[in-house]
Structure 1
Amino acid sequence: MEEVKRYVILGVTSFVAYFLGGWSILLTALIVLNVLDYATGLTANWQQRSSLRAFQGGIKKGIMWMWVGVSNLIYLILLELGYDAGEVLPNFVALYFIVMELISLEENSKKLGLEMPTPLSFFIGKLKEIMNSKKDVK
Structure 2
Amino acid sequence: METVGKWILAVGSAAASYFFGGWSGVLGALLVFVILDYLTGIAAAGMSGTLKSNTGLFDIARKGLIFAMVAVGHLVDGILGDGHMFRDAIAFFYIANELLSITENAGKMGLSVPDVIQRAIDVLKGKSGGNDKDKELVRMQARKQGNAQGIDVSHHNGSIDFKRVAADGGISLRG
Flag whether TM exceeds 0.5 (same fold). Answer: yes
Note if contact 2:44-2:109 (Cα within 8 Å) is conserved in structure 1.
yes
Aligned to 1:109: 106
Give the Cα separation in 2 of the matches to 1:22 and 1:59: 22
Identity %, equivalent residues: 32
- C-alpha RMSD of matched pairs (Å): 2.9
Aligned to 2:58: 56
Provide Cα deviations, 1:49-69, integer angstroms capped at 9, x if missing partner.
111000001000000000001
Aligned to 2:80: 78
Change (3 A) 1:54 1:13: same
Moved over 6 A (4+): none
CA deviation after TM superposition for structure 1 residue 106, in Å: 1.2
Give the Cα separation in 2 of the matches to 1:35 and 1:3: 28
Code of the residue aligned with 1:73 in structure 2: it is: L
Give the Cα separation in 2 of the matches to 1:4 and 1:33: 29
Note if contact 2:42-2:51 (Cα within 8 Å) is conserved in structure 1.
yes
Give the Cα separation in 2 of the matches to 1:51 and 1:36: 18
2:100 is equivalent to residue 98 of structure 1: no
Give TM-score scaled by structure 1 length. Answer: 0.77
Code of the residue aligned with 1:53 in structure 2: it is: T
More helix by share: 1
Give the Cα separation in 2 of the matches to 1:76 and 1:8: 25
Pairs aligned (count): 126
Note if contact 2:16-2:23 (Cα within 8 Å) is conserved in structure 1.
no
Change (3 A) 1:117 1:14: farther
Give the Cα separation in 2 of the matches to 1:70 and 1:31: 16
Aligned to 2:33: 33
User: Rg larger in 1 or in 2?
Assistant: 2
Give the Cα separation in 2 of the matches to 1:34 and 1:89: 19
Change (3 A) 1:17 1:115: farther
Code of the residue aligned with 2:104 in structure 1: it is: E
If asked which structure has higher relative contact order (CA below 8 Å, sep 6+), I would say 1
